[in-house]
Structure formats: structure tokens, C-alpha cells
Structure 1
Amino acid sequence: MPSVKVGIIGGSGLDDPDILKNRQEKKVCTPFGTPSDALILGEIDKVECVLLARHGRKHDIMPGNINYRANIWALKEEGCTHILATTATGSLQEYIKPGDVVILDNFVDRTSNRKQTFYDGEPNHPIGVCHLPMEPPFCKRTREVIIQVAEELGISVHKTGTVVAIEGPRFSTKAESMIYRSWACDVINMTSVPEVVLAKEAGICYASIALATDYDCWRETGEKVTVSDVLKMFKQNVTKVTNIVTSAVKKIGQQNWDSTLCELADTVQSSVMLPH
């Protein structure tokens, strides 16, 4: 069985290194700069893992300042074949309640000024221009594993969901929130893009486990989104999300991913236009 290695990108409230056994810390630098924090190497059920705190372990990096390219490149260089990302999201639909888990399958990008490719023509960066097809953006097979383990754990999840990624760090106005609802977006956050784009370009099977923490600000009644409410809701549900992640890691490690990884690598390679 070929070895897999799973990168775990912890979002707000889920970057606890205690989920790993035989932990060791590794500081790295990449051609794209320094990642958000040191990599935490370890194991879950004998599957090699690498944990990275998206916002830094002090949570001192705002969404627009995260070095997404360095984060993904560092995980790629460390040999990660998969990335399981966790993210706090606001719900844009009544049926997705705070505390619900959504396994994202699509996105709408409303970010600005974020670098979304490794192929930027700069020295020591990959050569060429990459016109990467983004459908599907999330790895279908990895998503299926997550859904399966959630069902085995008795945890109800929404099996699909479109996230609208905004620049932040501010939250949306009500007018913006209503527009995103009219676009049939399900949840909203500030970090899924360009993370998912870069992971696919790096040839890594990427899936995202989103926890709805609030109803954003579109509802006529009820509280509007606040930082304290987001963190409180994540803390209340962190065990649920952690159990999904650790169980998914174990199941990923039991499967052969050769064909999936080769297919993804072929997609990336065929998308790169080299200079004449």
C-alpha cells in the first residue's frame, strides 16, 4: 500500500496539536516565503500527518495576510498527499443551523488581491502559466471518505455546500449577505480561496470541513455575527469536528490513492502552458 500523508489545516478554534502522536515541530521556509507557523509533524492511527495553524498558533494573521502559497507549498514539500481543512463559516441558509457541519463541494470567490497560483513568472517559481480547471474544486473522493466516517460516527453533516469566500477581515453588510443568498451560496468565510485553488494546483487531494457558527447578518430576527459567538460555537463543537478529522485520516490511510493522485497530477500538468 503506497504511503499517504495528510496535512491538516486548522482554522479558528481547531489547530490543537494534541490530536497528533509523536509530535515534533519543524520550521520551514519556501520559495514563496514563510508559512503561517511551524509545521507540527506526527501521527494519527499510524498515518503520518502534518498540522498547520492557518492563522498562526496565536491567531495573529488576518485572512488577507495569510501566506496561502507558502502554507500549501510547505505541506507539498513535506510530502502531503491530502489536506483536510477545517473552517468556521457563517450560514446563509435557514436549514444550515449553527453547530451544523458542511462538507464543501464548491465556492464563489469574492476575495481580492490574493495570489492564486504558484506559476507567476517570478524567479525560482514553477515555470509556465497554469490555466487550472476548477471543477470540481474539492476532491470528490476525499469528500466521500469524510461523509462516510461522519455517518459511521453518527454525526449529521450536509453532504454538499457552496461557500462564498470574502476578503475580510470585516463581516458582510446585510445587503451583501442577501446577494450571496440569492446566488444560492450556503455558507460564507474568508479563507477557502485561494487555499483550495493552490492545493489543487499542487496536486494535493483537498477537502474542507466547515462548521456553521452563526447566521451571518441576513436574518430579520436574532443576533448578528460576532467574533465571540463564532469562537464560542466552534469551541462547543470542536470535538465533533476533531472526531471527523481523525477518523477520516485513518480511513484515508487504509486506501490506495495512486490512480486519484495520478489523475490529479495529469490535470495540473496538462494545464501548464510552457514558454515557447
Structure 2
Amino acid sequence: MNRDKKAVIYALAAILLWSTVATAFKKSLEMISAFDLLLLSCIWSVIVLGAVNFSKELNLNCLKITKEEGFVYLLGALLNPVAYYLVLFYSYDLLPAQIAQPLNYTWPLMLVLLSIPILKRKPALTDAIALLICFAGIMLISRGGTSETLGPLSKKGIFLALFSSILWALYWLMGNRQPGQQDKRLFWNFFLALPVLLLLKPFLSPGFPHLSAAILLSTAWVGFFEMGITFIFWGLALQAASHPARISHLVYLSPFLSLFWISLILKEKIQMSTITGLAVIVAGILLREFISKRKMNQP
């Protein structure tokens, strides 16, 4: 099997798994709080990421870090998973999955916008055009709350879903400055998040839920496939691909496939405004990437 075929297989596996997590979020939130979902999922994530790292060298030396590295990883942990997933799960708790999920997918645009002040990147006209297009998509999705099917949408939930995309973009920008390979970075981010979450638990979610089989299964699904192994698959896809940019565009299949699971399992009636709004957001992001690449290829 050649490298590009492997890349496609890894990418499609990641996309399929990522498409299920919005449904897993909502099913979990029917049983436990957003904070407990994060804490339990984080534990599962540490287990699977630790196993992945250990399997590479079959000793614990692969996870050794310096104090300086530990500090950087802790800063990363405060962004992801602590802040990002808390905000994201609270948004899912307040909104239908078909609303929260596409709003969170505005993060590539947030990444472009945040790179202007953080990386001192010069803004371009294409950034403004993409912003306006994506904003139109956001408005279409938000207007879905006027339908009788969904009822009025939580403004706080909409804000949190969009804010989560900003936090994820910040984590991506910071990720380039964290030492080590992605597998190791993710392990330490999630591992160091655990003591932070345990310190916050008495204040944000006192007490412990009864750990039924359904709770353990749903949080394991989130920990394994949202926070853990799926990132490994995606990284392998990009490494194997001869043209990583082409593979990276496949990720935009995930939110549309996610709507299928939301409809099938959660029984949400998918609104046309959701599909149209998501398509507009993705179109804005892809248009910006297409124009930027054309400019780069010009002599």
C-alpha cells in the first residue's frame, strides 16, 4: 500500500470517529454535568495516550520531560483540555447538537484572525471576505432557533460555542511552541490537566456521579475518540500524505457526517438553516485557503 492510500485511510478513520463525538457529548450530558464529562473523559484520554506513547519505545523514558517543558505543557493544559472543553461542553449543554457543532467549526477562521496579532501576520482582503462569509453562516445557524422544532436558542450557548473555537485556535498557535512530538504533547497536556480539574471540582461540580456502565462507555468514547487516538490517526494521515494540504481538506466532511449521527441517534430534526449555515462557513474557510494558495504560487 502506497503512502497516499495509507494517508486517506488514516484520514477517513479520523473523520468517521470525529463525526460521532457531538452525539457522544449530548448522550453523556444527559447523565452527567459538563465538568464531570471533562474529568472522566480526560482520565480515559490519559490512559489511551499513555499507551500509545509507551508502545513506541516500550519504556517510560519516552515520557520524560524537563521542568521547563513541564511548565510549557501545563500552560497548554490550561487551554486544552481545561478551558477549551469546559467551554465546549457547556455550550453543548445549552444548545442542540446541530447548532453547537457547526459553530465550533469556525475555529480555522479564528486561527487566521488570531495569527494577525500573535504571529504579526499582515491581514489580507481575503481574511475580511472569509470573515463576512462565515459570519453569514453563523447568522443562518443561529436563526435556526426561531423554528418551532428547535425553539429559542440560548444566546449564552451560542457565545460559548464560538468562544470555544477561539480557545482551540489559541491552542493550535501555542502547539507550535510546545516541545516534543504531538503524541507526547497531548499526553502531558491531558495528564497535567487532571490535578487542575480535581482542584476545581469542589467548586464547579461538587460530589461524584454514580458511575454506571452507560456513563463509563460514553465518557470512554469521548476520551478515546475526541481527545485521544483520533488525533494520532490524523497526524499519521498528514505525515503519510505526499500532499498534506489535500488530505487536510477532508476534515470538512466531518461536520456534515456528524449531522447524520445527530439525526439518527439523538433524533434531532436537522434544520435546513443548519445545513446551509454550515456549508457557508466551510465555503468561507475553503475560499480563503484557495485564494491564499493561489497568491503563494504566483511568480
TM tier relative to shorter chain: under 0.3
TM-score scaled by length of structure 2 = 0.25
Structure richer in strand, relative to its length: 1
Q: Which has the higher contact order (CA 8 A, sep 6+)?
A: 2
Between structure 1 and structure 2, the one with the greater Rg is: 2
Structure richer in helix, relative to its length: 2
